[in-house]
Structures are given as structure tokens and as C-alpha cells.
Amino acid sequence: MLLDDNGERRNRMECWGPHYDVFKLEVIQPEGFFLKNEELKTSHDKKNGLLTHITTVAAGRTTVSTNFYRYEPALGGAYIMRVNGPAKPHTAEPTLRFIARGSLQQKAHLFLPNIYEEITVKNLRGSFGQQVYLLLRVDITGTSNTELSMRLETSLQNPRFYADSAGMQVTCLYSC
């Protein structure tokens, strides 16, 4: 602890020079939220904050819905996922969520059961401003014999789709 100019105790962050609002932090209310720049705007589920739509200047509104599913009991191993029966929705409530908005980027932080999701939109021109970044951290310490997956359901009409191979490579596949 340090003492400020008035002799009051402050932590180190509070004593650093003039106070600048580097970024604004806001708690997100259940009625929904969005991330927006000059190129795109995101829409999110009102209950859990997961991504539902992306609206771009070039293409308009596109459904890009993220949902989590689990398969129990698991048949796969460390690097292989083998489904066993139909997927069960992984509960996505209750959700703690907040947004950090700055001059370079905006981030929505979602804390779901077993899952932390970070959604980022950059406030930049060009291709960086046309992208939505998703970062996932999955806590599997409280589960066993369970396969967890994230599904992206889109309204895109393209026979090609891509699959991730254990976080090592993205492979282009074709639908049947």
C-alpha cells in the first residue's frame, strides 16, 4: 500500500499519475448485448450470452450460433473423439458475463459451467476488423468419461466445412 497526496492509503494502481479511462468495463445485463465496429456487429443469446448472429456491412445478417454439447459415456481417447449416441445439450446457464471495450478492441467474457469463452472484435479497418475471434477454455477436472464439443450452426450455403484435429490443424472436408 502507498499513500496518496492526501495521506490516504491506496494500492499501487490507484497512485499511478493522472487517471485515464483506458477501457470501459461494463457488466452485461440479461437482456443481451453486442460487439460492434465499422465492419460488423454481433448478436448474442439473452439467456447465456453465446453468439447467435453476425451482421456485416458486406453480407448482411448471418446466423452463426454457438452451442455446446456433450456425449456420455465417452468412447474416444486423448486425441480422438468418438461419439456415443445422440449429443446432449451442455447447460449454459447460469452465466457470468462482462464486456471490456477499448479503442483497439472489444471483448465479451462469458463464464459458463466448465467453459470460459472470450469473444473479441477488433476496432480496426481491413480484414482484422471483419473477424470475430473466439477463445475457449474448458475445465474438465470435474468430469470423467465425457466428450464435450462446440457446434457452430450457420446459415451459410456452402458444401465445404472444416474440422479441427485436436487443435493442431484445420482440415477442409466436404459434406455428403
Q: Are 32 and 46 in contact (CB under 8 A)?
A: yes
- What length is written for the chain? 176
Q: Dump pLDDT digits (tens) for 25-53.
A: 666 666 678 999 999 999 998 888 899 99
Q: Does domain 28-155 have CATH number 2.60.130.10?
A: no
Read off the pLDDT band of 105 (50, 70, 90): very high
Which pLDDT score is estimated for 129?
93
Q: Please name which of 19, 18, 1 lies closest in space to residue 10, comparing C-alpha atoms.
A: 1
Q: What's the CA gap between 95 and 136, in Å, rounded? A: 15
Which pLDDT score is estimated for 92?
66
Which pLDDT score is estimated for 28?
64
How do the domains of the chain map onto residue ranges? 28-155
Helix (H, G, I), strand (E, B) or coil at 3: strand
Q: Dump pLDDT digits (tens) for 127-171.
A: 999 999 999 998 888 777 788 888 888 887 877 777 776 666 777
Q: Please name which of 164, 162, 138, 132 lies closest in space to residue 64, comparing C-alpha atoms.
A: 132
Q: Count other C-beta atoms under 10 Å from residue 44's C-beta.
A: 21
DSSP string, 67-81: EEEEESS----SS--
